[in-house]
Amino acid sequence: MVKLNPHFAKLSTYFLYPEIEKKVAQIKAKQPGKAMINLSLSDITKPLSPTLLAALCSASQEMGDRNTFRGYGPSQGYAFLREAISYGEYRHLGISSDEIFVSNGAKCDLSHIQEIFDIDNRVAICDPANPVYLDTTILAGRTHEANEQGEYGGVQTIPCLEENNFIPHPPSAPCDLIYLCSPNNPTGTAMDRRSMRQWVDYALDNQSVIIFDGAYEAYISSDDCPHSIYEIQGAKEVAIEVRSFSKTAGFTGLRCSYTVVPKELRANLNGSDVSLHSLWRRRHDTKFGGVPYPIQKCAAAFYSPEGNREVKEIIYMYQERARFLVEGLRKIGLTAYGGRDAPYIWCKAPCSMTSWQFFDDLLTRLQIISVPGPGFGRRGEGFVRLSAFAEPSQLAEGLLRLKNLFKI
Amino acid sequence: MVKLNPHFAKLSTYFLYPEIEKKVAQIKAKQPGKAMINLSLSDITKPLSPTLLAALCSASQEMGDRNTFRGYGPSQGYAFLREAISYGEYRHLGISSDEIFVSNGAKCDLSHIQEIFDIDNRVAICDPANPVYLDTTILAGRTHEANEQGEYGGVQTIPCLEENNFIPHPPSAPCDLIYLCSPNNPTGTAMDRRSMRQWVDYALDNQSVIIFDGAYEAYISSDDCPHSIYEIQGAKEVAIEVRSFSKTAGFTGLRCSYTVVPKELRANLNGSDVSLHSLWRRRHDTKFGGVPYPIQKCAAAFYSPEGNREVKEIIYMYQERARFLVEGLRKIGLTAYGGRDAPYIWCKAPCSMTSWQFFDDLLTRLQIISVPGPGFGRRGEGFVRLSAFAEPSQLAEGLLRLKNLFKI
């Protein structure tokens, strides 16, 4: 008799986005005349830039010609893209093109990477954080059941709170696998060099591995925030870095990301010293068939001078929107974090409201859609996440509605 | 201290294709004048058909326009594609569009599907078979170490031999998870209705789940071979079907497949009766970001009358090549199976040669590249796999060389 994965039963059945959608639908039905302002977006709103589009279309065209079409590609990604990434992102950091694995989304890699590790590893996860870290840790069987507070035994929670400026600090207990995300979703905060240094030292001391989620790297504008964990000396011995073209080059609908596994990263396997790179390559070859050729050509166009200039303009536009929104919120008198090095703003619920109370207030009184903080973990309580992907007119209208409500 | 997945050490380090490539390179260096005939191909050689190409290019173009571009899509796949598959493939079998999950390759789904099952399930795998079934079973920790014969304890081997016409038959012992592939890679043989009925009955009796790999379904021409396992009454209660556009519509470089998880398929999870569909959907949502929009539009174009006609012509061409090759081999006096319902031919090594001896002979004397049978399992010994993806002129030249060698 077949037996199902018992860890599925441990997953929270708390469905954040369906709950948000249900409430939004109710308000739309009740107040059909009022236009919604959607500040809950985690998706980009700008189309592909002209140079990237041209690369996508031209590579697509190649697929119809017997002299140029491509069948199976290398599972690790075409050399033209890996070399472009190696030069474009890491030329000063000494990451070679064969340490880069092209993949179909940061979400996939951030979860699949767990497969190269033993079940019996203690995982550290920030709270609040992208739910994918915890959910995939649960599904892999690395946690116990959740307790009444919704906390899972076997996982080390790293709190990111107002008190510590939302910067994660290494715990006193040793952990084996550590998920870090900077700039952070949802808090919009990026780690500075010093705090990243602390983590690399911690990992070196404890022989841990850091899984570094750098999906929002392109949004960093603070000088002291490293764009890559490999800017920290020693990180190549302890860190895997996952990056994405989704929020960088507008690929949310095209699915392309990459993962760096440095060859210096080694650990013990049955008494032998093994490179994690060889395990991940084997996993990639065994279970993954590569990213579509036209998508890889499109990603490579990001590293052309024209493509890079166009995309940086788009990122700059989103950055401007984030600054406009966070400064506007502060002027109104709200407490808001982030928005400087990330497209997200972590806005504190005023008057000791809970996240959901503030969410409901914003929705029913102002028709503004936000994301309640507990969707990212228990320590997201008291906050909502706002994002800067909406059009400037929407942001301005949202701020105006807020200003009228708060009457300042 | 981080611990690595110990099951990686159990994987065979036998690298079939690198070994083939090494030998081919040696011969090329020794005999630079002689043209190679590559009959080892598992990749298509025809470009995308005009209608599918037009759909790919037009959807790519949409990505550059703010009014038409798509960001995150549904992780299960766009409704337009799921509905096209449901109607185009399953309208007589009652599989609805929400039982279909669009994915980025059969290889991925065939391995990831294991995640919804407990580690403690006995897996049945045919020998010979696509190595992905066994390798992912090993990586998941469902086997013991390999013995001296390279057999893994904990796995039930289902032999597919000349004696049973390469048709797998249910074992006497109960198994929980069963990988079946029809038409089969590498033997080129398809299961008939009676043998598929036996497996469905076995699974119903033992409460097992069949993971049915139907990647070569489009190549079936025998009337008595079901195209889908759901043609067998009761299969919806026991079978998951994985299909691919790779060998059907020329998508090896574009990566699109789909998996059917019928809602009738249920099993026990911690005392509750649970639908496997809900677990797979949760897994999809958690770990997968969907297939690129232009790729899904391209796949949907296969279900347009024009697209379907074009693709069927291409398949017909490959089928003709397979028949030409298998009949040619037989005329020469070789024993060859398959080629009627699959693009693969399973050719017996003559004169009691081993697979590798025959491979070497073909390569060094005739410059013909084949795939030695043991690459697909121990019981592939004594055979090589030949494929019909090569150009007709190549097939004819290959047969001519063989004919001269065997002097018949």
The closest of A52, A51, A96 to A299, measured between CA atoms, is A52
pLDDT at B408 over 60: no
First to last CA, chain A: 66
Alpha carbons A384 and A386: distance in angstroms, whole number: 6
Alpha carbons B392 and B375: distance in angstroms, whole number: 26
- Over residues A15-36, mean pLDDT: 89
pLDDT at B3 over 60: yes
User: What pLDDT digit, counting tens, does each position of B245-266 carry?
Assistant: 999 999 999 999 999 999 999 9
CB atoms within 10 A of CB B359: 25
Chain B CB contacts of A116 under 8 Å are 4-5, 8
Which stretch of A9-18, A59-68, B357-366 has the lowest confidence by average pLDDT? A9-18
Distance from CA of A190 to the nearest CA of B (A): 24
CA-to-CA dists, residue A258 to A75, A100, B243, angstroms: 12, 7, 27
Helical spans, DSSP H, in B333-389? 355-366
Beta bridge partners of A240: A211
Chain A CB contacts of B66 under 8 Å are 45-47
pLDDT at B61 over 90: yes
Q: Which long-range contacts (CB under 8 A, 24 or more apart) does B356-362 make?
A: B358/B384, B359/B20, B359/B23, B359/B384, B360/B23
Distance from CA of B311 to the nearest CA of A (A): 13
B253/A293 Cβ within 8 A: yes
pLDDT at A407 over 80: no
Alpha carbons B291 and B285: distance in angstroms, whole number: 12
A254/B293 Cβ within 8 A: yes
Chain B CB contacts of A270 under 8 Å are 6, 9
Domains of chain B: 6-47+307-406 (3.90.1150.10), 51-304 (3.40.640.10)
A57/B46 Cβ within 8 A: no
CB B340 within 8 A of CB B189: no
The closest of A136, A133, A114, A108 to B108, measured between CA atoms, is A108
User: What are the backbone dihedrals phi and psi of residue A308, each rounded to the nearest 5 degrees, phi first?
Assistant: -65, -45
CB atoms within 10 A of CB B16: 15
Chain A CB contacts of B291 under 8 Å are 255
CB atoms within 10 A of CB B31: 13
Q: Residue A360, class by beta-carbon neighbours within 10 Å (0-12 exposed, 13-18 middle, 19+ buried)?
A: middle
B208/A2 Cβ within 8 A: yes
User: What are the backbone dihedrals phi and psi of residue A369, each rounded to the nearest 5 degrees, phi first?
Assistant: -95, 130
B289/A108 Cβ within 8 A: yes
CB A134 within 8 A of CB A377: yes
pLDDT at A3 over 60: yes
Chain B CB contacts of A293 under 8 Å are 253-254
B5/A69 Cβ within 8 A: no
In this predicted structure, what is the pLDDT of residue B226? 98
Residue of A nearest to B238 (CA): A2
Which of B1, B38, B49, B60 should be substituted to probe chain A, the one whose Cβ sees the most A Cβ atoms within 10 Å?
A: B60
Of all residues in chain B, the percent with pLDDT exceeding 70 is 99
The distance of Cα A204 from the centroid of its chain, to the nearest Å, equals 24
CB B123 within 8 A of CB B155: yes
Alpha carbons B390 and B320: distance in angstroms, whole number: 12
Instruction: Assign A32 a pLDDT band (cuts: 50, 70, 90).
Output: confident
A139/B6 Cβ within 8 A: no
Q: Sort strands B336-338 and B344-348 into parallel, antiparallel or unpaired.
A: antiparallel
User: What pLDDT digit, counting tens, does each position of A342-367 carry?
Assistant: 999 999 999 999 999 999 999 999 99
Distance from CA of A173 to the nearest CA of B (A): 12
In this prediction the ipTM stands at 0.97
E-assigned strand segments in A69-220: 100-103, 123-127, 155-159, 177-181, 209-213
- Over residues A210-238, mean pLDDT: 98
Distance from CA of B32 to the nearest CA of A (A): 24
A294/B2 Cβ within 8 A: no
pLDDT at A14 over 90: no
In this predicted structure, what is the pLDDT of residue A150? 83
Residue A371 host element (H or E): strand A371-372
DSSP A349-369: PSTT--HHHHHHHHHHHH-EE
The residue written with tokens 């994002």 in the block is A387
pLDDT at A408 over 70: no
In this predicted structure, what is the pLDDT of residue A45? 93
Which of B4, B49, B61, B66 should be substituted to probe chain A, the one whose Cβ sees the most A Cβ atoms within 10 Å?
A: B4
CB A187 within 8 A of CB A193: no
CB A318 within 8 A of CB A169: no
Distance from CA of A30 to the nearest CA of B (A): 27
Instruction: Assign A13 a pLDDT band (cuts: 50, 70, 90).
Output: confident
In this predicted structure, what is the pLDDT of residue B327? 98
User: What pLDDT digit, counting tens, does each position of B193-218 carry?
Assistant: 999 999 999 999 999 999 999 999 99
Distance from CA of A292 to the nearest CA of B (A): 4
CB A227 within 8 A of CB A217: yes
Alpha carbons B105 and B89: distance in angstroms, whole number: 18
B43/A63 Cβ within 8 A: no
Instruction: Assign A34 a pLDDT band (cuts: 50, 70, 90).
Output: confident
- Over residues B312-330, mean pLDDT: 97
3-state SS class at A242: strand
Which stretch of A91-95, B32-36, B399-403 has the lowest confidence by average pLDDT? B32-36
Chain B CB contacts of A283 under 8 Å are 139
Of all residues in chain A, the percent with pLDDT exceeding 70 is 99
Chain B CB contacts of A60 under 8 Å are 53, 56-57, 60, 294
Chain A CB contacts of B2 under 8 Å are 117, 121, 176-177, 207-209, 267
Alpha carbons B37 and B51: distance in angstroms, whole number: 31
In this predicted structure, what is the pLDDT of residue A316? 97
Distance from CA of A171 to the nearest CA of B (A): 15
Q: What is the C-alpha R_g of chain A?
A: 22
B57/A60 Cβ within 8 A: yes
Alpha carbons B287 and B268: distance in angstroms, whole number: 23
Establish how many alpha carbons lie within 13 A of residue B81's alpha carbon, considering only the half-sphere containing its beta carbon. Answer: 29
Average pLDDT, rounded, for chain B: 96
User: What pLDDT digit, counting tens, does each position of B88-130 carry?
Assistant: 999 999 999 999 999 999 999 999 999 999 999 999 999 999 9
B71/A64 Cβ within 8 A: no
What is the count of residue pairs from A and B with beta carbons less than 8 Å apart? Answer: 246
A46/B270 Cβ within 8 A: no
Instruction: Assign B407 a pLDDT band (cuts: 50, 70, 90).
Output: low
Residue B167 host element (H or E): none
Distance from CA of B207 to the nearest CA of A (A): 5
pLDDT at B311 over 90: yes
Which of A4, A118, A177, A270 should be substituted to probe chain B, the one whose Cβ sees the most B Cβ atoms within 10 Å?
A: A4
